[in-house]
C-alpha cells in the first residue's frame, strides 16, 4: 500500500484546473498550425490565426483561453494499491476545483440543480470518473468542458443491421446539425457499443487521447480516418464560416455490447480542447 | 483578406444598411453584454411597465459572460456565447431599438426575418478567442443585474473589436453561404 495524502490531490487538481485553462496543449496548437496551412477559405485562415494568437495571449497575459472555463470533468486512474489518507477522494477533488477556479480567476459556470439553477459559486461539483487500475500510482486528468460544444452531444441506439454505415451517418449528421455552435474546428469523441450510459462515457473518454494518435485497432483507426475525411467535406469550416477544417481530429472508442444493441454517442469538443494531467 | 470596415456605436440605420454578410468589421465604442438571464429579466420588467435599466436605442448587445477580471484589468476572457439561446428574445429587442447583436452560431428563421424587417445586424466574433477579445475591451462596468454574476449587464468600451457580419438586413446568412461554397459531399 502506498499512501497519498488528500492535500496532494487538492493541490494537484487546483493546478491542473488553472493550467488547462491557460495553456492550450501542444498537440492542439500543432494541429491548428497544420490546419492553417491547408485551409482554403480566407476567412477560415483568419479565424485559425486568431485562435493561435489567442492561445499565445492566454499563456502570456494569464487570461483564460476561453471565458467558458467549463465544467470540471476529472478522470482519475487510481492504482488499487493506493491508500488515500487525510480525507476522501471526491471531496479532495472538489476542493481542488474550488481553489483552482477561485484563485485562478476562472468562471463559475455550475448551477446546483438543473431546474432551479442557482450558481454554486465555486464551479463545484466536478464530474468525476474513477477507474481502478493495477499498481500504486494515481493519474489525474482535468478536462474543462465548455457548454457550447457539450450541448451538441448526441446519443442513439442503432440496430445492429445499420452497422458501420449507420454509425457514420449518425456522426456526420450530428456535426452537420451542430454547424457553427460547438466552435469548430472541433475534436470529436465517438463511443460505440456498451450500454446506454457506457457509450457516452466512452465518447467523453475518447477526448483524452492526444490529437493525431489513432485507435490501436486498424479497423477503428480506419473508421476514424474516414470520419475525419467526410466531416471535412461538409464545408462548415472554422467557426462555421465556410472552409475545409471542420474537425481537427476524431477519436473512436468501442466496447463489447449486447447482441441486440448498437449504441453510438458523439461528444463534441471545441478547438479549445483543454486538458491537463499529472501523475501522483 | 478583405479590408475591415470601421464602425462606431451607436449604430445608425445607414450603418446597418451599409453592411453585407461576409463583411469584416472593427467595432469601437460602447457595447452591452447580456445573456439568457439578463434578457429574460429585462423583458419581464418591461412587461410590468418598468423602465429599462439601459437606453436600448441603437445599441449593440454582446452575448458574453466573461470570466472574472484579475486585479488591475477591466475584464477576464470575454468571447461570445452561442446565440440561439437568445433567439426567442431577439425580435423584441429589435423592436425596442437594439441594432446589433454579437455572438456565435446560427440564428433562427424568425431572427433572420426580424433583422430584415426591423433593420438590424448579427455579427459573429470568434468563439473561444476569449483572451484575444479581452484585450480589445478597454473598460467594463456592471450597469444592471449585478446579482447575475457573469450574466449581469456590463457596459464595455471596445476598440477595434474584430467581427464578421453573418446576418445582414437583407436576409443573407454567411453560415449558409460559406458552407455551400466549401461543401464537397
Ligand atoms: S464551445 Fe469551447 S471555445 Fe466555444 S465558447 Fe464554448 S468553451 Fe469556448
pLDDT, tens digit, for every residue of A160-209? 999 999 999 999 999 999 999 999 999 999 999 999 999 999 999 999 99
As a whole number of Å, the end-to-end CA separation of chain A is 14
- Do A132 and A6 sit in the same domain of this protein? yes
From A120, A145, A170, give the residue that closes a domain.
A145
Percentage of the residues of chain A whose pLDDT score is greater than 90:
98
Q: Cell for A93?
A: 477533488
Orientation angle between helical segments A42-61 and A26-38, nearest 10 degrees: 160
For residue A67, give the ligand 1 atom closest to its CA. 8
- What's the DSSP call for residue A111? B
Pairing assessment for the beta strands B24-33 and B137-144 based on DSSP bridges: unpaired
Percentage of the residues of chain A whose pLDDT score is greater than 70:
100
Alpha helices in B96-173 (DSSP H): 109-118, 130-134
CA triplet A112, A114, A118: central angle to 5 degrees?
40
What CATH number has the domain bearing residue A181? 3.30.1330
- Do A183 and A119 sit in the same domain of this protein? no
Greatest CA span in chain B, whole angstroms? 53
CA–CA gap between residue B80 and residue B77 (Å, rounded): 10
Q: Which of chain B's residues have a Cβ under 8 Å away from the Cβ of A183?
A: 104, 127-128
- Do A124 and A172 sit in the same domain of this protein? no
Which pLDDT value is given to residue B3? 83
Residue A215 pLDDT more than 80? yes
CA–CA gap between residue A7 and residue A199 (Å, rounded): 33
- Do A70 and A157 sit in the same domain of this protein? no
- Do A120 and A160 sit in the same domain of this protein? no
Length of chain A: 280
Q: Is residue A30 part of a domain?
A: no
Choosing from B39, B41, B99, B136, which is the catalytic residue? B39
CA–CA gap between residue A248 and residue A271 (Å, rounded): 8
From A110, A145, A180, give the residue that closes a domain.
A145
For ligand 1, whether the C-beta of A153 sits within 6 Å is no
- Do A9 and A112 sit in the same domain of this protein? yes
Alpha helices in A104-245 (DSSP H): 147-150, 163-178, 196-206, 218-231
Which pLDDT value is given to residue A223? 98
For residue A271, give the ligand 1 atom closest to its CA. 3
From A145, A167, A195, give the residue that closes a domain.
A145
With beta carbons less than 8 A apart as the criterion, state whether A106 and A100 touch.
yes
With beta carbons less than 8 A apart as the criterion, state whether B1 and A44 touch.
no
- What's the DSSP call for residue B105? S
Show the domain range for A263: 148-273
Which pLDDT value is given to residue B1? 47
Cβ distance of A237 and B67 shorter than 8 Å: no
CA–CA gap between residue B153 and residue A154 (Å, rounded): 32
* Cβ neighbours for B2, distance < 8 A, ≥ 6 positions apart: A42, B22, B23, B24
Alpha helices in chain B (DSSP H): 13-17, 36-47, 90-95, 109-118, 130-134, 174-182
Ranges under pLDDT 50 in chain B: 1
What CATH number has the domain bearing residue B172? 3.20.130.10
Hey, how many other C-beta atoms are within 10 angstroms of the C-beta on B152? 19
- Do A195 and A137 sit in the same domain of this protein? no
Which pLDDT value is given to residue B2? 59
Q: Could you tell me if A261 lies within 8 Å of chain B, comparing CB atoms? A: no
If we measure between CA atoms, which residue out of B111, B9, B124, B110 comes closest to residue B57? B9
Orientation angle between helical segments A163-178 and A218-231, nearest 10 degrees: 40
For ligand 1, whether the C-beta of A149 sits within 6 Å is yes
Element (H, E) at A93: helix A89-103
If we measure between CA atoms, which residue out of A221, A177, A36, A236 comes closest to residue B185? A236
Tell me the per-residue pLDDT of A98-108, one tens digit each, with 9 for 90 and over: 999 999 999 99
- Do A140 and A190 sit in the same domain of this protein? no
Cβ distance of B77 and A41 shorter than 8 Å: no
> Quick check: is B99 catalytic?
no
With beta carbons less than 8 A apart as the criterion, state whether B136 and B172 touch.
no
Indicate the number of domains in chain A.
2
- Do A162 and A204 sit in the same domain of this protein? yes
Q: How many CA atoms lie within 13 A of A70 on its CB side?
A: 29
Q: Which of chain A's residues have a Cβ under 8 Å away from the Cβ of B134?
A: 57, 63
Indicate the number of domains in chain B.
1
Q: Is residue A34 part of a domain?
A: no
The whole-angstrom distance between residue B178's C-alpha and the CA centroid of its chain comes to 20
- Do A176 and A259 sit in the same domain of this protein? yes
CA–CA gap between residue A193 and residue A255 (Å, rounded): 5
Please give the backbone phi and psi of residue B128, each rounded to the nearest 5 degrees, phi first: 90, -5
Q: Could you tell me if A153 lies within 8 Å of chain B, comparing CB atoms? A: no
If we measure between CA atoms, which residue out of A249, A240, A238 comes closest to residue A185? A238
> Which neighbouring-strand residues pair with A73?
A127, A143
pTM of the predicted model as reported, rounded to 2 decimal places: 0.94
- Do A81 and A155 sit in the same domain of this protein? no
Show the domain range for B152: 4-182
For ligand 1, whether the C-beta of A270 sits within 6 Å is yes
Amino acid at each position: 500500500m502506498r499512501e497519498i495524502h488528500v492535500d496532494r490531490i487538492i493541490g494537484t487538481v487546483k493546478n491542473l484546473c488553472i493550467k488547462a485553462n491557460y495553456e492550450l496543449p501542444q498537440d492542439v496548437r500543432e494541429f491548428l498550425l497544420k490546419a492553417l496551412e491547408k485551409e482554403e477559405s480566407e476567412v477560415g485562415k483568419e479565424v485559425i490565426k486568431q485562435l493561435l494568437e489567442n492561445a499565445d495571449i492566454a499563456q502570456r497575459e494569464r487570461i483564460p483561453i476561453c471565458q467558458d472555463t467549463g465544467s470540471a470533468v476529472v478522470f482519475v486512474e487510481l492504482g488499487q494499491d493506493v491508500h488515500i489518507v487525510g480525507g476522501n477522494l471526491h471531496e479532495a477533488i472538489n476542493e481542488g476545483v474550488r481553489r483552482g477556479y477561485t484563485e485562478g480567476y476562472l468562471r463559475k459556470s455550475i448551477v446546483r440543480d438543473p431546474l432551479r439553477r442557482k450558481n454554486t459559486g465555486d464551479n463545484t461539483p466536478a464530474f468525476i470518473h474513477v477507474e481502478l487500475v493495477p499498481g500504486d500510482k494515481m493519474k489525474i486528468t482535468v478536462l474543462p468542458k465548455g457548454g457550447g460544444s457539450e450541448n451538441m452531444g448526441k446519443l442513439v441506439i442503432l440496430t445492429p443491421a445499420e452497422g458501420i454505415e449507420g454509425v457514420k451517418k449518425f456522426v456526420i449528421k450530428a456535426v452537420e446539425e451542430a454547424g457553427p455552435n460547438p466552435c469548430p474546428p472541433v475534436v470529436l469523441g465517438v463511443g460505440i457499443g456498451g450500454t446506454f450510459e457506457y457509450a457516452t462515457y466512452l465518447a467523453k473518454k475518447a477526448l483524452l487521447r492526444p490529437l493525431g494518435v489513432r485507435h490501436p485497432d486498424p479497423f477503428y483507426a480506419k473508421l476514424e480516418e474516414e470520419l475525419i475525411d467526410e466531416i471535412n467535406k461538409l464545408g462548415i469550416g472554422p467557426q462555421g464560416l465556410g472552409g475545409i477544417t471542420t474537425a481537427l481530429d476524431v477519436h473512436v472508442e468501442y466496447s463489447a455490447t449486447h447482441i441486440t444493441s448498437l449504441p453510438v454517442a458523439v461528444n463534441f469538443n471545441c478547438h479549445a480542447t483543454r486538458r491537463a494531467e499529472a501523475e501522483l | 483578406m478583405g479590408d475591415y470596415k470601421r464602425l462606431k456605436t451607436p449604430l445608425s440605420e445607414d450603418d446597418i444598411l451599409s453592411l453585407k454578410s461576409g463583411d469584416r468589421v472593427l467595432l469601437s465604442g460602447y457595447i452591452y453584454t447580456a445573456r439568457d438571464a439578463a434578457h429574460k429579466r429585462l423583458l419581464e420588467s418591461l412587461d410590468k411597465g418598468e423602465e429599462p435599466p439601459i437606453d436600448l436605442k441603437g445599441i449593440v448587445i454582446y452575448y458574453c459572460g466573461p470570466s472574472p477580471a484579475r486585479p488591475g484589468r477591466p475584464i477576464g476572457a470575454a468571447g461570445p456565447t452561442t446565440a440561439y439561446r437568445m433567439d426567442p428574445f431577439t425580435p423584441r429587442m429589435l423592436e425596442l431599438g437594439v441594432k446589433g447583436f454579437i455572438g456565435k452560431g446560427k440564428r433562427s428563421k424568425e431572427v433572420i426575418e426580424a433583422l430584415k424587417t426591423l433593420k438590424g445586424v448579427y455579427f459573429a466574433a470568434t468563439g473561444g478567442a476569449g483572451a484575444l477579445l479581452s484585450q480589445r475591451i478597454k473598460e467594463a462596468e456592471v450597469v444592471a443585474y449585478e446579482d447575475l454574476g457573469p450574466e449581469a449587464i456590463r457596459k464595455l468600451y471596445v476598440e477595434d473589436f474584430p467581427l464578421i457580419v453573418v446576418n445582414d438586413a437583407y436576409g443573407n446568412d454567411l453560415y449558409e453561404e460559406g458552407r455551400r461554397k466549401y461543401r464537397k459531399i
